[in-house]
A and B are shown apart, each in its own frame.
Chain A
Amino acid sequence: PHSGARTMLPLLLLLLAAAHGLDDLPALKAPVLANSSLGGQITTSTFVLEQPRCVFKNVPEDTVIWLVVADPSAVPDFNNSVEPGGPGREFQQFLNGSFAYMTLNTTILNYPCPKNPGDITVLRVGSETSCATDKARPTCNGPLPGPGPYQVKFLALNGSKPVAQTAWSEPITLKKAQPSGSISVLGSGHSAGMIALTSILSILFAILLAGLLAMLIWGLDASSGSSTFSKPEAVTVRRYNTHHAYDQPAARL
């Protein structure tokens, strides 16, 4: 029974190691999106991550850091040992046969630690459009095919051996564009100013028309009313009246 337990223990450890994806690398700090003050932090086919500065310590100088982009369904069974761009890891087949791909490879020397304060140290995922359909470039950093969500992590490879990894990021969902035809252009109704202007002008015009009507009806009736005033020449008529009676008819023109 004791010898059985002794062989069981290594077997148990082996099974645990297999359950963890064949390599027992500790999970370092997960990748995060760049500062939200960047207008292009998330677009409909790209997103921007912070560079993994001061995350990979104690790795050899010729280590290459890769970015792994995966569909959340591929995260639990992700195998770190599959070659970047290998079968099941082609960018061009992403979400169409491959459910993860690796890209943005660079040596650890490009992520110096500590970073200069004030430097913008970001990685734009999805910026390479030239190789998006080029099957000869399976590690292309091409635009993402849909709004996601996606999960990413950094993987440090020395040759082809994984030496360090970060934890998986939170799921990143990209923007989804609504159709422009759905924008409603119906106005919010008429403003108060316009209503006031229309009503006041209409009332004034109505009063003027009424005045014109009154003027024509009464004015034509009372053309010889006693309250009418005489024309300016009539002032001289009065003077003529007192001196020359025969000038009166001529003055009435």
Chain B
Amino acid sequence: MARSDDGIRILQGLLVFGNVVIGMCGIALTAECIFFVSNPHGLYPLLEATGNDDIYAAAWIGIFVGFALLALSILGIVAVIKSNRTLLLVYIILMLITYAFEMASCITAATQRDFLTPNLFLKQMLERYNKSEAVNNNDKRMTEGVTKTWDKLMLQSQCCGVQGPTDWQDYTSAFRTTHSDADYPWPRNCCVMNAQGSPINLDGCKLGVPGYYNSNGCYDAISGPMNTHAWGVAWFGFAILCWTFFVLLGTMFYWSRVEY
């Protein structure tokens, strides 16, 4: 009896430790997801205009799952120390529900990340950037969001277009209908600007002289933060769920050994 008592004590200790880790990971998950939802790189309007901003939904779910994990881990510690069958059963069932939500969040983040290809952003940029007529208010809001985001992106990351300035030459665009090719081979923000916000040499920019215009594409500046966002939510969630799997299995075993 002493040996199985020791075994059970070790299991109790492990379960308490497991729940402490789950609680801390819950806090970390909440913090990480709040960071992503706060849109630090200002790229949310681009996602919203694709009509598929599910990686933000995944981050929102992550915030609430993080809180739930924290609360449930405290419940779990109390239940294990008290060896109360009812509490343990409640803990297991609520944890399984949280597990399901977190699983949904991870899979959504991973799947939606695959959807965000360069061509998606290219088509959106060409069709929405500087579009002059809007179909309805929602369309107008999204167009303004896309235009402002691209202007800021091209200025801050010193880039032009998705794959390069030739995007504006190789395809027709809403921008091209209002700005002639001879005056604006590419938007003004593709030019290298001085401190006052005007091009240092407009003719050099229109000619495409290296040093007076941004010759690289913006896709890296877009996909970098989005990858971090999606993989951060998906893989950190995956790690938490793997750990939680073992803690739950241990708890189930512990529950079956507790007598009424």
Contacts and interface: CB of A to CB of B under 8 A. Distances in A.
Contact of A204 (B8, B122, B234, B245): B245
Contact of B111 (A143, A179, A190, A224): A190
Contacts of B248: 208, 211
Interface stretch (A13-21, A25-33, A38-46, A77-85): A38-46
How extensive is the interface on chain A, given as a class?
Answer: 35 or more
Interface string B246-260: 001100100111111
Given A183-B122, A229-B259, A197 B107 contact: yes
B255 A45 contact: no
Given A39-B208, A187-B117, A228 B169 contact: no
Interface in B36-79: none
Nearest to A48: B207
Nearest to A122: B207
Given A39-B215, A126-B182, A194-B111, A232 B83 contact: yes
Contacts of A190: 111, 114
Given A39-B213, A205-B100, A211-B252, A191 B171 contact: no
Nearest to B123: A183
Interface in A118-145: 120, 122, 124, 126-129, 142-143
B198 interface: no
B15 to A, nearest CB: 14
Interface string B96-137: 100110010011001101110101101100110000000000
Interface string A59-87: 00000000000000000000000000000
B171 A46 contact: no
Contact of B258 (A175, A194, A224, A228): A228
How extensive is the interface on chain B, given as a class?
Answer: 35 or more
A164 to B, nearest CB: 27
Contact of B114 (A187, A212, A219): A187
A134 to B, nearest CB: 15
Contacts, number: 162
Given A194-B113, A197-B107, A205 B99 contact: yes
Contact of B169 (A43, A188, A194, A227): A43
B4 interface: yes
Interface string B166-188: 10011111001000111101000
A197 B165 CA distance: 37
B235 to A, nearest CB: 7
Contact of A175 (B99, B169, B173, B249): B169
A194 B110 contact: yes
B236 to A, nearest CB: 12
B221 interface: no
Contacts of A116: none
Contact of A44 (B110, B181, B257): B181
Interface string A211-238: 1101100110011100111111001000
A47 B93 CA distance: 70
Contact of B241 (A46, A201, A230): A201
Contacts of B235: 197
A252 to B, nearest CB: 10
A191 B106 CA distance: 14
Nearest to B165: A39
B209 interface: yes
Interface in B1-53: 4-5, 8
Contacts of A114: none
Interface of B: 4-5, 8, 83, 92-93, 96, 99-100, 103, 106-107, 110-111, 113-115, 117, 119-120, 122-123, 126-127, 165-166, 169-173, 176, 180-183, 185, 203, 206-210, 213, 215, 234-235, 238, 241-242, 245, 248-249, 252, 255-260
Given A187-B117, A209-B96, 20 more contacts: A46-B182, A120-B207, A120-B209, A126-B182, A142-B182, A177-B171, A179-B171, A179-B172, A180-B126, A181-B123, A184-B119, A194-B113, A197-B106, A200-B242, A201-B241, A208-B96, A208-B245, A211-B252, A212-B96, A215-B256
Interface of A: 37-41, 43-46, 48, 120, 122, 124, 126-129, 142-143, 175, 177-181, 183-185, 187-191, 193-194, 197-198, 200-202, 204-205, 207-209, 211-212, 214-215, 218-219, 222-224, 227-232, 235
29 contacts: A37-B210, A39-B185, A40-B206, A40-B208, A41-B208, A45-B182, A127-B206, A129-B180, A142-B182, A143-B182, A179-B171, A187-B114, A187-B117, A188-B117, A193-B110, A197-B110, A201-B238, A202-B103, A204-B241, A204-B245, A205-B100, A208-B248, A222-B256, A227-B4, A228-B258, A229-B4, A229-B257, A229-B258, A231-B83
